[in-house]
Amino acid sequence: MLNKLSESIYYLSNQDDRERPALGLVCGEKHSLIIDAGNSTQHAKEFLLEIQNLNVPPVKYVVITHAHWDHFLGMNEFDASVIVNSQTNELMKEWQSFSYDDRSLQKYVSQDLMNVKCAEIIKDDIPNRNDFKLNSPNIIFEKTITIDLGNKVCLLEQVKSTHADDSTIVYVPDEKVIFLGDCAYGTTTNSLFHFKQALLLPMIEDIQKFDAKMSLLGHESIYDSDEMNLYWQELTAANQAVKSKSLEDAKENFVAEIKREPNDNELFFIQAFVNDQIINS
């Protein structure tokens, strides 16, 4: 079932056990636009079936928020123009060159080009894989693009995020809703989970330019503005406390600056920023 977020915006909730991110749907008077294409043919088909049950204009556009497989492998299912920023376009080329039969998948996993979970999902949820080739995106933009769906505008902007350099966010000014993809998350490098510390503050500034009342996060669904502000506050406080590779120093800095012990979220973020210091040293 799709969740109705506002008069013209719906989303399909994330499903963590199947590595499925949340998928968005924005409807104008003439066209509809989808945010993220699903992690597989099956995921996309289920989303399309739900959309068919609504009386909404045909899907003309699919926006891919960044070049991580779980956000785009379903894109061939949509009879629509796929929109990406130029960096996402470059990163997706590797996946267009891939073959998806068992032997190829095994090879990519052994070469570290694909993780095991991804290969499993592809085997389960992309039928007739032997001939499967990922399509190319149709509309490639630099920095920003505005899409008019008929009396309903979507603003797309590329931001460098703590999760991926090629992140695209989608803002719908009429309803003050923003789709953040995986922007607000960290990432894993050499098995270490970290938030790219240098990008945190510019990213938050880029996102807060938009006057969003609701934020949709890729793997958690909806945050209202209070929840989102709290999330940014916790991240910012943790960021401020981390000045070196020392976890102990960071915890002490936190208490000195914020005048209380960090909570569980903040401890998680502190560790992730310390890991970033380790990765960059």
Q: Which residues sit at the interface with Zn ion, rule CB under 5 A?
A: 68, 182
Residue 277 — φ and ψ, nearest 5°? Answer: -60, -40
**From the CB of 174, what's the least distance to Zn ion, in Å?**
27
- Closest approach of Cβ 180 to Zn ion, in Å? 11
Given the complex with Zn ion, which of 60 and 68 has the nearer CB atom?
68
> Contact 65/37 with Cβ under 8 angstroms?
no
Q: Is 131 exposed, middle or buried (0-12, 13-18, 19+ CB in 10 A)?
A: exposed
CB of 113 to Zn ion, least distance (A): 16
Could you give the 3-state DSSP secondary structure of residue 118?
helix
Which residue's CB is nearer to Zn ion, number 181 or number 262?
Answer: 181
Q: 245: Cβ–Cβ under 8 A, 6 or more apart, which residues?
A: 274, 277, 278, 281
- In whole angstroms, how close is the CB of 80 to Zn ion at the nearest point? 21
Distance CA 11, CA 23 (A): 5
Nearest CB to Zn ion, comparing residues 125 and 182: 182
Strand duo 3-6 + 9-12: pairing: antiparallel
Please say which residue, 207 or 250, places its beta carbon nearer to Zn ion. Answer: 207
How crowded is residue 248: how many other Cβ atoms within 10 Å of its Cβ? 9
**Shortest separation between residue 65's beta carbon and Zn ion, angstroms:** 8
d(CA 106, CA 95): 15
* Alpha helix (H) residue ranges in the chain: 41-52, 69-72, 86-97, 102-110, 116-125, 197-208, 225-241, 247-258, 264-280
Residue that the structure tokens 């945010």 belong to: 35
- Nearer to Zn ion among residue 187 and residue 239 (C-beta): 187
Nearer to Zn ion, 68 or 194 (CB): 68
* Least distance between Zn ion and beta carbon 243 (Å): 28
In the bound state with Zn ion, the residue whose beta carbon lies nearer, of 157 and 182, is 182
Least separation in angstroms between CB 82 and Zn ion = 17
Instruction: Please answer whether residues 198 and 281 qualify as being in contact, where contact means their C-beta atoms are separated by less than 8 angstroms.
Output: no
